[in-house]
Amino acid sequence: MIYLDHNATTPVHPDVVEALLPFLTEKFGNPSSIHWAGRAVKGAVEEARERVAHLVGCEPGEVVFTASGTEADNMAIKGVAAALADRGNHIVATRVEHPAVVNALLHLERLGCTVTWLDVDGDGVLDPDRLEGAITDRTILVCAMAANNETGVLFPLREIGAIAARRKVYLHCDAVQAAGKISLGFRESGIALLALSGHKLNAPKGVGALVIRRGVKCHPLIHGGAQERNRRGGTENVAGIVAFGAACEIAAATMAGEMARLKRLRDRLEEGILALVPGARVNGSRERRLPTTTNISFAGVEADSLLMALDLAGIAASSGSACSSGTLKLSPVLAAMGIAPEVARGSVRFSLGRGNTEGEIDRVLEVLPGIVARMRRGGDGS
Ligand SMILES: Cc1ncc(COP(=O)(O)O)c(C=O)c1O
């Protein structure tokens, strides 16, 4: 079995499993309890906070643990809109944000906020001048992701952060796909809020974090007890948080070597496909991109059929388009890049991660060209 869908989720690292297990057994206390059982886990939560902060380049006190990247995005967007309602109700966002951002913004639009949606260029990159032009004196927030989940394309965050700082608006950055893969440098970047998710970097599902720069105004999304310094009610997912911290520590320690290795594998896969499959093309910038991701269109082939054939060969990959009740919904990300529907329809995302080997890449290169050729001979590609 070959897993090339790490942007969807990643396997939990064995060291992470080892770190979390005691918190499902003997270390069962509630971190809010002041007795021995609580104290034993409170320290572990704070240690995890330090590890997340170290990976991101922020202070531990700026990390708020959440249940997911989706919750972190929602908290940032709805929390800032609520906190700054008296200052303005205009938000600027790119058209290629994850649904966790897009749908939170659509919700705010229904409540009376105005959102300006920014196009990206054919490479999937945002032009900072376009952003500057969209900011008004009613703007409170800019949403720009660090790395796109479908293409891996990176936004020029330093430039975007500098514009946001100069125009005195908050920048919310969805760094769910970027964390652990590229250096984020939160402190220097001008980012006010940053969303993270554990399961994208070898921690379990059900834990994430929102980093809120000191002094930034953001109301809670979940009201309850005084957990997370009154920013997120609810007894903490201690095992998940400890695991997230352990995964961040591993990512920080191994990022440089591991990303160089995965980039070599990704390039081997991509170059192999381009050489062996006529009409294959890469979507998005090939320079400004995560080292782990490639999004490739196979002309004349339906991505869903190709993915099914790959699955039968034991290869897991994915597409940005979802086929529901016979209608193919094309990827909004590829559409925003101006990619023609017939090209987008045949686009497949391969996303690499820690377990992948050269032998696996070579196996994909062995079977994929034949599958595509067979589908094209079949006529309709489906
Ligand atoms: C860019 C991006 N943001 C947010 C999310 C949501 O994260 P979670 O699955 O933790 O809710 C994802 C997950 O696919 C993502 O890729």
Q: Would you say residue 170 has pLDDT above 70?
A: yes
Question: Do 53 and 168 fall into the same domain?
Answer: yes
Question: Do 61 and 171 fall into the same domain?
Answer: yes
Query: For residue 382, is it within any domain?
Result: no
Question: Do 62 and 115 fall into the same domain?
Answer: yes
Q: Which atom, in ligand 1's list, is nearest to the CA of 8?
A: 14
Question: Which band of pLDDT confidence, cut at 50, 70 and 90, is reported for residue 379?
Answer: low
Q: Would you say residue 381 has pLDDT above 70?
A: no
Q: Would you say residue 330 has pLDDT above 90?
A: no
Cβ neighbours, 10 Å, residue 256: 10
Q: Would you say residue 225 has pLDDT above 60?
A: yes
Question: Do 346 and 359 fall into the same domain?
Answer: yes
Q: Would you say residue 130 has pLDDT above 60?
A: yes
Query: For residue 5, is it within any domain?
Result: no
Q: How much is the pLDDT for 328?
A: 63
Closest CA to 14 of 202, 218, 201: 202
Query: For residue 7, is it within any domain?
Result: no
CATH number at residue 72: 3.40.640.10
Q: How much is the pLDDT for 327?
A: 56
The SS3 of residue 106 is helix
Q: How far apart are CA 105 and CA 113, in angstroms?
A: 8
Residues 330-344, mean pLDDT to the nearest whole number = 92
Query: For residue 2, is it within any domain?
Result: no
In the block, tokens 């399961």 appear at: 199
How is 220-278 classified by DSSP, letter by letter?
Answer: -SS-SSSHHHHTS-S---HHHHHHHHHHHHHHHHHHHHHHHHHHHHHHHHHHHHHHHST
Is the CB of residue 98 below 6 angstroms from any atom belonging to ligand 1? yes
Query: For residue 53, is it within any domain?
Result: yes
Question: Do 76 and 175 fall into the same domain?
Answer: yes
Report the amino acid identity of residue 49: R
| CA 53–ligand 1 middle distance (angstroms) | 19
Question: Which band of pLDDT confidence, cut at 50, 70 and 90, is reported for residue 326?
Answer: low
Is the CB of residue 70 below 6 angstroms from any atom belonging to ligand 1? yes
Structure tokens belonging to residue 213:
């720069």
Q: How far apart are CA 94 and CA 117, in angstroms?
A: 5
Enclosing domain of residue 67: 14-251
Q: How much is the pLDDT for 93?
A: 98
Is the CB of residue 100 below 6 angstroms from any atom belonging to ligand 1? yes
In the block, tokens 């913004």 appear at: 105
| CA 37–ligand 1 middle distance (angstroms) | 33
Q: How much is the pLDDT for 185?
A: 87
Question: Do 46 and 175 fall into the same domain?
Answer: yes
Closest CA to 55 of 259, 246, 216: 246
DSSP H helices, the chain, are 14-20, 36-56, 69-83, 99-110, 128-134, 157-166, 186-189, 227-230, 238-276, 303-312, 332-336, 341-344, 358-377
| CA 221–ligand 1 middle distance (angstroms) | 17
Q: Would you say residue 335 has pLDDT above 70?
A: yes
Question: Do 259 and 164 fall into the same domain?
Answer: no
Is the CB of residue 161 below 6 angstroms from any atom belonging to ligand 1? no
Q: Starting at the earlier edge strand, list the strands of the sheet with 347-351.
A: 280-282, 293-298, 347-351
Closest CA to 152 of 171, 173, 125, 130: 125
Q: How much is the pLDDT for 378?
A: 84
Question: Which band of pLDDT confidence, cut at 50, 70 and 90, is reported for residue 278?
Answer: very high
How is 178-200 classified by DSSP, letter by letter?
Answer: TBTTB---HHHHT-SEEEEEGGG
Of 251, 285, 316, the last residue of a domain is 251
The 10s digit of each residue's pLDDT in 67-101 is 999 999 999 999 999 999 999 999 999 999 999 99
Is the CB of residue 176 below 6 angstroms from any atom belonging to ligand 1? yes
Q: How much is the pLDDT for 209?
A: 98
| CA 91–ligand 1 middle distance (angstroms) | 20
What percentage of the chain exceeds 90 in pLDDT?
94
| CA 100–ligand 1 middle distance (angstroms) | 7
| CA 88–ligand 1 middle distance (angstroms) | 27
Q: What are phi and psi of 25, to 5 degrees?
A: -120, -100
Q: How far apart are CA 196 and CA 209, in angstroms?
A: 5
Query: For residue 372, is it within any domain?
Result: yes
Q: Which of 97, 143, 173, 200 to mutate to test ligand 1, by most ligand atoms within 8 A of the CB atom?
A: 200
Instruction: Reply yes or no on whether 323 is catalytic.
Output: yes
Is the CB of residue 293 below 6 angstroms from any atom belonging to ligand 1? no
Mean pLDDT score of the chain? 95
Sequence-distant (≥ 6) Cβ neighbours of residue 371 within 8 angstroms? 306, 309, 310, 313
Question: Do 271 and 207 fall into the same domain?
Answer: no
Q: Which atom, in ligand 1's list, is nearest to the CA of 198?
A: 10
Query: For residue 4, is it within any domain?
Result: no
CATH number at residue 314: 3.90.1150.10
Q: How far apart are CA 50 and CA 16, in angstroms?
A: 16
Question: Do 275 and 156 fall into the same domain?
Answer: no
Q: How far apart are CA 301 and CA 204, in angstroms?
A: 34
Is the CB of residue 337 below 6 angstroms from any atom belonging to ligand 1? no
Q: Would you say residue 320 has pLDDT above 80?
A: no
Of 251, 278, 310, the last residue of a domain is 251
The 10s digit of each residue's pLDDT in 13-33 is 999 999 999 999 999 999 999
Question: Do 234 and 344 fall into the same domain?
Answer: no
Question: Which band of pLDDT confidence, cut at 50, 70 and 90, is reported for residue 322?
Answer: low
Question: Do 321 and 280 fall into the same domain?
Answer: yes
Of 218, 251, 284, the last residue of a domain is 251
Is the CB of residue 69 below 6 angstroms from any atom belonging to ligand 1? yes
The DSSP 8-state label assigned to residue 289 in this structure reads B
Q: Which atom, in ligand 1's list, is nearest to the CA of 147?
A: 1
Question: Do 213 and 285 fall into the same domain?
Answer: no
Residues 221-233, mean pLDDT to the nearest whole number = 97
Is the CB of residue 245 below 6 angstroms from any atom belonging to ligand 1? no
| CA 200–ligand 1 middle distance (angstroms) | 8
Total domains, the chain: 2
Query: For residue 322, is it within any domain?
Result: yes
Q: Which atom, in ligand 1's list, is nearest to the CA of 208?
A: 10
Q: Which atom, in ligand 1's list, is nearest to the CA of 100?
A: 4
Q: How much is the pLDDT for 286?
A: 96
